[in-house]
Amino acid sequence: MTSTSTDLFAPCTVGAWDLPNRVVMAPLTRNRSPGGVPPARVATYYAQRASAGLLISEATAITQQGQGYADVPGLYTPAQRAGWRVVTDAVHAAGGRIVCQLWHVGRISHTTLQPGGRDPVAPSAIPAKAKTVLLKDDGTAEFVNVSPPRALSRAEIPGIVADYARAARAAVDAGFDGVEIHGANGYLIDQFLKTGSNQRADDYGGSITNRARLALEVTQAVAAAIGGSRTGIRISPVTPANDADTEDTQPLFEHLLRGLAPMGLAYVHVIEGSTGGPRELPDRPFDYTALRQAYRGAGGTAAWMVNNGYDRALADAALADGADLVAFGRPFISNPDLVRRLREGLPLAALDRATLYGGGDAGYTDYPDVP
């Protein structure tokens, strides 16, 4: 990370990328890719938001086993990669930069989405108290309980690590500037980290060292495949999303960050508090400053990206306190020109929540810029 400016709109270098500002568009699932293939409207959507310093794609399944929601994009078939190439070309033509968020949902899935209708996989055969999104015949979203998972065998885990590396190479081949590993929000990597979903008795369960093993192996494999300077990782230490829970959050994530420090990553993306909810959770206290200090103390040089409920004032305060990048999520949905609105102090357009998941152009590509 270069440049010590605390100006949200100052250019900076992050990993392999020269960014025009420090505003990041967070990954936002929109369920508009039938068959996992991004259609033309997806290219329009991302290109409209290309003024962000960096775009992070919606979560993208690395394999069909990794898919957990209807009509989310994938990166494991030629058609999917070709669809993403149209998107990345459009973003680059608009002057933007985009990375692909690599996703394996683990137990947050449904048998109707899995290969052969099989059970989803997880660290342990513990059902999640969570829901996923399926689509009705009329194309509208329907929230249903996730299916009970089966425990991954020890022999299957190296193959999943290889799937992440393969997907990272496919992302670069599809024109992405890099990737973000989704290690947050109660999905597979987070499931291995946390004791509420990981009760294994082998070297991927039990101790903090063992539970962090998959996250570190995946990140190392991805960095080896495409370069650490094109690799980011997203974590959510305390979010309860998708039934994620553990009793040793602070030491667990400080251990993880110390393990990531030597990998030369582009950025570490930290969701503070409950994803899409409160930034402070009194029953789940966490010291984010200590987390960053653990990472820096171990030699970590990646840009520090903060996320969750940020506005201009909070973003300025975070940058003054040592953050490097600020991710904005839902405000980008209804404000494709969010960077301009933040810079000029313009009001934000309201979000139509009825069109968040599934559908067509309405509530997707039809939000106007400020005149």
**Positions marked catalytic:** 187
Tokens representing 4 are 């010590």
- Measured distance CA(123)–CA(57) in Å, rounded: 26
- Measured distance CA(166)–CA(258) in Å, rounded: 25
Tell me how far apart the terminal alpha carbons of the chain are, to the nearest angstrom: 35
Tokens representing 227 are 């370069």
Q: Catalogue the E-assigned strands of 92-251.
A: 98-103, 121-122, 131-135, 141-145, 150-151, 178-182, 231-235
Distances (CA, A) of 11 to 7, 90, 297, 306, 316: 9, 22, 26, 17, 15
Tokens 């009705």 belong to residue: 136
Nearest 5°: the CA angle 89, 73, 108 is: 150
Beta carbons of 246 and 186 less than 8 angstroms apart:
no
